[in-house]
Amino acid sequence: MIQIKAVDAQNILAVCELTTNQDCIGAAQKHSCCNAISIAEANYHLELHPNAIYNNNVLIGFFMYERTEHQAETATIRRFMIDDRFQQKGLDEKAFAHILRGLKIQGVKTVILRINDANPIAKNRCLSFGFQFTEKIDRDECCYTLKL
């Protein structure tokens, strides 16, 4: 069962140790920010919400979304990752669906994703959930939206 928990003092180190590749090379070297940088960024930007993803009480991933008070009906998923040990087990799809349901419950009506064009796995995942390409490209990231 997928659960989402805020990153806190009890799980921050474990969240920072998650990796998306078998060589345990930091995600920053794989064209995306590592979890520690995302968590640090959230410390300075209150609209960013870093979260840990659990499956049956086992930490499996991390995601962070942006939601501002003046645009509460829109959330932008800034980071999403599943640790290498849990990839290709269907957990990424289950976790992503759980995240979308949670955002909808919070009153979000539009979800925005920015995906690096060099990441076909992320692109295919977002398209499978019904996201639509907006034709906008910002710093090598393609923008997609989904109405909840």
pLDDT digit string (tens) for 87-136? 989 999 999 999 999 999 999 999 999 888 788 888 888 899 999 999 88
Domain edges within the chain: 2-147
Domain 2-147 has CATH 1.10.10.10: no
**Given strand 48-55, what is the order of strands in its sheet?**
2-6, 48-55, 58-66, 74-82, 110-116, 141-147, 132-138
pLDDT of 40 higher than 90: yes
Q: Between 91-105 and 120-128, two packed helices, what is the crossing angle to 10 degrees?
A: 50
Confidence category of residue 27, pLDDT binned at 50, 70, 90: very low
Nearest to 67 by CA among 52, 92, 100, 45: 45
